[in-house]
Every structure is written in C-alpha cells, then in structure tokens.
Structure 1
Amino acid sequence: MSFFRRKRLFSILLALIILVGLIGFSLMNRDQRTSIEEFFQDSFGWAQMIVLKPINYLTDVVSNIDDMKNMYDENRVLKENLGQYQKVLYEVQELRKENAELMRALEKSESIRDYTPIHATVIARSPEKWFKQVTIDKGIQDGVQKDMAVITAEGMIGKIHSASQFTSNVLLLNGFDRSNRIAVNVDLSDSDQDARGFILGYSEERNQLLLEFTEYYDEIPEGEFVFSSGLGGVFPDGLEIGQIDEVSTDQYGLTQIAYVQPSANLDDLRHVIVVDRDIETVFDDDGEDEVEN
C-alpha cells in the first residue's frame, strides 16, 4: 500500500473517531451547552418554526373546512329529524285528541239508553256563511233519517237536514230559525218545576242560541242547563243543548227570553252521534193517536 493511500485512510479513520466523539459528547447529560451547540439548536428551531408554521396554518384551514362541512351535514340531518319529530308529535297529539273524542262519544252512547246511537264522522263542511251545515259519512243505509238529532259527547249540535244512501247533511244549531225550533226544558235547581220554552234561532251578534219561554218565570238563574224536552216527537228528551248565559225580555217587554251558550263546540266537529230513536205512539181511549214520545 502506497504512502498516500495509507495517509488518506488514516485521515478518514481520524475523522470518524472525532465525529463519534462529538456525537457522544453532545449526547452526554450536561447542564450547559457550548455556544456552537446552542447556535445550531436555535437555528434548527427557527428553521423548523418557519417551515412548519404555514404547514400548520394550511392544516388548520383544511381541518376547519372539514369541520364546517361536517357541521353543515349534521345541521341538515338535525333539521330533518326535527321536522320529522314535529310531524310525529302533531300526529300523536291529533290521535290522542281523536281517541279522547271517541272515548267520550262511547261513554255518551252507554250513558243514554233511550235510543240507538249511529256513530258518524264529519267528512265535509259547507263553506258558505248562510249554509251552516256539515256532511257525515252515514246515510239511509245506516238508518239515518231526516230530522234526527245529532249530538257529540258535549251536547246537541243540530239535526239531519237531508239524507242520501251513504251520506247525510247536518244543519247545525247556529243555522236554526223558527222553522227548526226545539222544545226545551230548563232544570231550575231552586224549584220543583222546569221552565219550558223553545230554541227559536241563533244570535249572530252574541254567538249564542235564542230561547223563548212559553210563560214568565220569576227567577231563572244564569248557568242553568237547557235540555230537549221531547215534545213534538222530533227530538228525544234529555239531550243537553247548552247553559243559560243571560235572561231578558224581547224588544216589546212582553216575552221572556234567554241567551244560551251551546255546550258543544260547533266550529270543531269530527265525530258525532246520530240519535236513532224509536217513536212510540200513545193512543187515547177512542183508539186515536194522541201523543208521540
């Protein structure tokens, strides 16, 4: 081996020894570092900060965009779920209301045994102001006939105005006039007798029924209930119609009248009951018909 080649090999070995020594020296646990080490450490730290800062910024921007996208998707899903929840909640409330109405109608049917109830559902309402009628889904095939009383669990709402084979039109109480009058009794709690009269119409100004008494009564308290009397054979007796709100006289001061608040809500009708009563005829001693009950 030539002199120059051995000298080169020796220099390489010496450099490796010095490098290893420097690495080992730098890895030693020392309280203080040399100025050169601090310089290189600070330079590397600043260079790392300069390089990583834009990278971290871009990473944060991309991450924020992904978060916003995820938030938008989550918000859309939440809105859809909220809309579905509100729809289900509304349906549940409607079903509960309908179930309560059906239960009250069933209780009403069981509490009154003088007639056969025909349960029906309101399927349409007349939009005209002067034709205050509703259409139900029962007709002649179901036993419905003209002039039958129609009630809800709260009270009477009207009568059958016309009937076809499968549907019928109901004239509501707020459409009654003198040609559709109802014979009624007022239960006077402080008296042994009942006050008698007729429902002769509806006051549009007060939104109440107009009751005209057949005679003058000294005292008729407000809040007394009004029931059908059954006279005339059109409506059965005992159907609740409303409560007396005010007692007065007509414009001439000759006839005692009262304003009656209907017990049933005439503006919100769904399930109704048609009163199918068997009319019994009572004969007098001569064999002629006298009174219909």
Structure 2
Amino acid sequence: MPQFFLNKRLIILLVSIIILVALIGFSIRDREQLTWPEQFLKDTTGWVQNVFAKPQQFVVGIFEDVQDLQNTYKENKELKSRLDNLAKLEADVQQLTKENEELRELIDEKETLRDYTPISATVIGRNPERWHELLIINKGKVHGIEQNMAVVTANGLIGKVKSTQQFTATIQLLSANDPTNRISAEIQGEESVYGTIEGYDGDRELLKLKRIPKDAKIVEKQNVITSGLGGIFPEGLPIGKVVDVEPDEFGLNQTAFIEPGANFYDIKNVIVVKREMIKPDLSEMIDDEEEEL
C-alpha cells in the first residue's frame, strides 16, 4: 500500500512538471494576442500598480518641490549677495575711472600703455600639421594689420601677427615652439611681479613665464597679463593664471607655469590689437637675436 501511494505521488509530480513546462513554453512564444487569463492578470496588476504609484509620485513630488524651494532660496540669497558686491564694484570702478581721467588731465597725459584699437577677424585656415603653431585670418594690410600685433580671443591672448598679406594675415600662437617669441608679462598681486613668456610646455599645456626674481612671492591662481613694457603689446591683455612655480636650473630666478585663458585648439574668431602709444625703438632695448613684445 505505501508503495502504491509513493508511485502515485511520483506520477503526479511528473505530470505537474510537464504541465508547468508546457505552460511556460506557451507563455513565452510569440503571439499577437494574450489569452483572457493573461490579459486579466496583466490588467489587474497594472491597475494595482497605478493605484499605489499615484500616491507615491505625489509624496515624492512634494519632497522634490520642498527641496527645489530650499535650493531656490539659497541661490536667491547668494545671487543677492553677488548683486550687492557687483553694485559696489561698479561704483568703485566708476570712481576709479573718474579719478584716473582727472589725474591724466592734470598731468596732460593723453595716452597710456593700455590704449589700443581692436580689429576683429575670422580664422579661415589652419594647417593640420602645424595646428598648434599657425593660423590664417581674413584681415590683412588693407585693414590695418601689421606684423607683431597682439592677437586675442574673448578669453585671453593667443599670439601675435607673424606676417601680413594684402587681405590675410598669419598668426603665430603662443603654443608655437619659437625661442624668439617672448612677451613681457606681469603677475598681478599686492606687488606686481614681472617676467617674460618664453616657451610652451606641450605635455602640460602650460606657458612658461621666466626671468622672475628668486625672492618674488607667487601663489597659484594669480592673474597674468601683458605688462606693455615690451614696446609692442599694450598693457593689460589677459594671458592666464599661475598654476605652479619652480626655480630655474641655476637657482637665480624662478619660472612660473601659466594656464592660458584661451583655448589654442578651438579658435574661430579673434581680435587683432593695434597699440595706440608710439612704439619705442626695439634695437635700443634688446639684442639683435632676441625679440620681446
């Protein structure tokens, strides 16, 4: 008798497995329409999920709205603070501008190293083999472009005019490997520090600012601009920010590594800077083999 029940149970188990496998195969096959039990189960499940999902979304939405409101309040508070500082800064700039004009009138000074005329231009060509060295713009001699004029973008200095034609000009970038490409620069701070941009570190994509006195105190993030003392470039053109400082190989001076403000790789529109102040005779300032702008 026990053997009979054992066989009966085994038969029932095998039949159940066969039916289960058949149902699984039937349910996973490609069909255009579901059976009515499957459709009923699917609809019921979807309705239940929808019932629970709406309250959940409502609660989550409330918390998100509260969070957004808190973020908006913080941002609004920060913006108000910046607006207050901006208003003060604008007032200071206006006052300083007025005082500067008055002082210049007192000493009868009509020109400064900062005075220049901008000439806008568009890049029309770049040699893929010399992408980081030269580019060609659509302005030339007839537009007032002259050799050695500074060239900038909205973000900072990118180079100088290397040569000019009647309707085009070739621009040499600061990233070019040219030992004669030297630019007189100033590190802004409580006390200005002067040096010359000489060379480009291609691996680190940083400009080298050399001839800095060894006792000069320089920190990261200080702004670097053209000094105007090279005789060609006007004063105040932004170059970049200090990221590192190292002593030179002889320990007599320091070299600062500058992150350029401009992107030398992606340049579409530029401004050629024509300095207004009379240029000095560079032959009296530098050696024949050197050039400083």
Could you tell me the TM-score, scaled by structure 1's length? Answer: 0.55
| Alignment CA distance shift 1:276-1:255 (3 Å) | same
| Alignment CA distance shift 1:131-1:268 (3 Å) | closer
How far off is 1:115 after superposition? Answer: 1.2
How far off is 1:281 after superposition? Answer: 5.7
Structure 2 spans left out of the alignment, 5+ residues: 1-112, 286-292
- Higher normalized contact order (CA 8 Å, seq sep 6+, divided by chain length): 2
Instruction: Identify the residue that residue 254 of structure 1 maps to in structure 2.
Output: 252
What is the distance in 2 between the residues matched to 1:281 and 1:166?
Answer: 24
Aligned pair partner of 1:219 in 217, 220, 224: 217
What is the distance in 1 between the residues matched to 2:257 and 2:127?
Answer: 25
Partner of 1:175, secondary structure, is coil
Cα offsets for 1:180-225 (capped at 9, x unmatched): 100001011xx2x200100011011211101113422342010101
Any runs of at least 4 consecutive aligned residues in structure 1 with deviations exceeding 3 A, and if so which? none
Structure 1 spans left out of the alignment, 5+ residues: 1-111, 284-288
What is the distance in 2 between the residues matched to 1:131 and 1:263?
Answer: 15
Partner of 1:209, secondary structure, is strand
**Aligned pairs (5 A) from 1:1-293:** 114-129=115-130, 132-175=133-176, 177-188=178-189, 191=190, 193-280=191-278
1:181 counterpart letter in structure 2: R
| Alignment CA distance shift 1:257-1:217 (3 Å) | same
How far off is 1:114 after superposition? Answer: 1.6
| Alignment CA distance shift 1:229-1:132 (3 Å) | same
What is the distance in 1 between the residues matched to 2:259 and 2:136?
Answer: 23
| Alignment CA distance shift 1:247-1:113 (3 Å) | closer
1:166 counterpart letter in structure 2: F
Q: Is the 8 A contact 1:177 1:202 kept in 2?
A: no
1:123 counterpart letter in structure 2: I
What is the total number of aligned residue pairs between the two structures? 172
2:204 counterpart letter in structure 1: R
2:246 counterpart letter in structure 1: S
User: Pairwise CA RMSD of aligned residues?
Assistant: 2.4
What is the distance in 2 between the residues matched to 1:171 and 1:115?
Answer: 20
Instruction: Kindly name which structure, 1 or 2, has the bigger radius of gyration based on alpha carbons.
Output: 1
2:206 counterpart letter in structure 1: Q
Q: Is the 8 A contact 2:118 2:274 kept in 1?
A: yes
How far off is 1:131 after superposition? Answer: 6.5
What is the distance in 1 between the residues matched to 2:280 and 2:254?
Answer: 32
2:161 counterpart letter in structure 1: I
Partner of 1:280, secondary structure, is coil
Q: Is the 8 A contact 1:195 1:217 kept in 2?
A: no
| Alignment CA distance shift 1:281-1:130 (3 Å) | closer
What is the distance in 1 between the residues matched to 2:168 and 2:280?
Answer: 32
2:238 counterpart letter in structure 1: E
How far off is 1:277 after superposition? Answer: 1.5
Cα offsets for 1:74-110 (capped at 9, x unmatched): xxxxxxxxxxxxxxxxxxxxxxxxxxxxxxxxxxxxx
- The percentage of aligned residue pairs carrying the same residue is 42
2:272 counterpart letter in structure 1: V
Cα offsets for 1:136-185 (capped at 9, x unmatched): 00000000000000001110000000010000010001015331100001
